[in-house]
Structure 1
């Protein structure tokens, strides 16, 4: 829809005529005397002078109207566009400890390591988070922020895919991961503060105990959903199974306590399907917010009448110059 953002600017349209009306009578006498003096000078020198031509009034009127139209800021407003505001802020905390290398989870007809299954299923969960803000924390000996909270879920998925076991050690610092998540949420003034923490073990490293991190999470109002990954030790062929690092070593009691005391929920992921079902349940537990923001794109068009005014002045000046040259040539 075409409209003028500042229509009151059209009140300036009669300004030149008002000025001319007020100043016209005062200048009439002085202008007449100048013309008489010029004619007398012409008679004394006997020189033929071509009288100057004023700009046509209709041209000046059109130029002024175009300038005023430009000042009124013409715009074109497009059709309303509705965008969903970020429904949730979700921090993903993924375990990269050595036990995540154990190949005890079935995926596409074969047993693969736990991290590969987490990547495959979690990537699908990330791709569906349009409208949410996601962050990624990776932890093992300690925890570090791989991706801050962002709407760019494609980048979060890429950072997860590029993560490797051993990147931050081989132990499991659950307390550090939860504590870092709380810290990142505290930097936001408004947030629903949801953490999804995935691990296959128990806290064996880090500077912050899980119990201490839990207190921080409760004080900050962070809701934590914990996911225990592993096949309950049924597949004992892996190296970490022989070392006692299978799913049977998962500290489910700790994960349940963290989830329950923060208002979240604990889930057990023993295979690909159960992990995928968990993310579907999370969608139901943490539904997308229905808040929407509507705006209309605006294209500024002030340059069109302004360009027209400048073009008319240029063409008129060029025509006048050519005509004067023709008159001088005839003389």
Structure 2
């Protein structure tokens, strides 16, 4: 980031500008009357008081303006050209989010309202992204197959917009956990970041796709990619939206099944951790924990160069004072 800024190195000198109106008043009162030769006493009656020459006022203005510019020069005006460089943290993250039909289960709450799992996940993930400004983050959504939501990017505003557009039903239903891991790893394969991680969230069991989750995790381990896994949903049964014979939407309690053993194995095999989220608060705490586990300091470098501008005030100021002196001592020397 770069920018420019104007400043005074010695701003205390600017207080002298307050003395200029006083000088102007004193010089005005001390001016000499114009010497005129009047033909008669009666003509003198029509001459009021102590007239001042307009030229005298002009010379006074030159002097005051010259002094003002010299005071500004003493204050040392400067034009600063600064540049700030923020180095990235060296962490690349791919968020893999389950968007299968089971993510419609209404077992989470958001702001006191019952909502489906995906809405809560999107809300928590958006906050997680906002807390990692120095990381490149990408996103993969998956159901029966994975698809790219966003490549690795530092443009997190654009990433959040893409997250808002994530919906259930965009691809065929199913839970392709292995394929999601393989896709996420593939997007990190060519990354040169010091740390590369995948955060995979699912609420089901691998039942689609060609890749085996454990085999995909082995490939991630070989490439030095760490995987954090999250199982989302309450234990037992959860309310799921269904359609009756008349097409009307209603909710029915459905069994919840998460392959926690495989998710735990995937995480441990790659050096990550497995978490279970049964409500909104626990999900938020999980992402916060991962945020702390993968925390690195960003390096900020600032460069500032200042250009001195006092000559642009001093030279015109001296010039005006010189002109005022020359005029006072030559053509207008008898004028106040």
TM-score (norm: length of structure 2): 0.61
Partner of 1:209: 212
Q: CA offset at residue 82 of structure 1?
A: 4.7
Cα distance in structure 2, aligned partners of 1:220 and 1:99? 32
TM-superposition CA deviations, 1:253-288 (whole Å, max 9, x none): 11111111111111111111111111111122111x
The answer on 1:103 being equivalent to 2:106 is yes
**Equivalent residue in structure 1 for 2:236, among 227, 233, 238:** 233
Moved runs in structure 1, 4+ residues, more than 3 A?
76-80, 233-244, 297-300
TM-score (norm: length of structure 1): 0.62
- Number of matched pairs: 224
Cα RMSD (Å): 2.6
Task: Name the structure where strand makes up a greater proportion of residues.
Answer: 2
**Equivalent residue in structure 1 for 2:174, among 171, 175, 189:** 171
**Equivalent residue in structure 2 for 1:275, among 268, 283, 291:** 283
> 1:85–1:293: 8 Å Cα contact kept in structure 2?
no
Q: CA offset at residue 182 of structure 1?
A: 1.0
- Against the structure 1 CA distance between its residues 204 and 297, is the aligned structure 2 distance closer, same or farther, given a 3 Å change threshold? farther
- Against the structure 1 CA distance between its residues 109 and 295, is the aligned structure 2 distance closer, same or farther, given a 3 Å change threshold? closer
Partner of 1:294: 301
- Against the structure 1 CA distance between its residues 292 and 164, is the aligned structure 2 distance closer, same or farther, given a 3 Å change threshold? same
Partner of 1:258: 266
TM-superposition CA deviations, 1:63-120 (whole Å, max 9, x none): xxxxxxxxxxxxx873463524234211000001010011111222222111011111
Cα distance in structure 1, aligned partners of 2:137 and 2:306? 33
**Equivalent residue in structure 1 for 2:202, among 199, 204, 213:** 199
Cα distance in structure 1, aligned partners of 2:218 and 2:269? 9
Partner of 1:125: 128
> 2:91–2:193: 8 Å Cα contact kept in structure 1?
no
SS of the counterpart of 2:172?
A: coil
SS of the counterpart of 2:215?
A: helix
1:36-185 matches, cutoff 5 A: 78-79=81-82, 81-185=84-188
Q: CA offset at residue 121 of structure 1?
A: 1.3
**Equivalent residue in structure 1 for 2:224, among 221, 226, 250:** 221
Cα distance in structure 1, aligned partners of 2:301 and 2:239? 56
Q: CA offset at residue 170 of structure 1?
A: 1.3
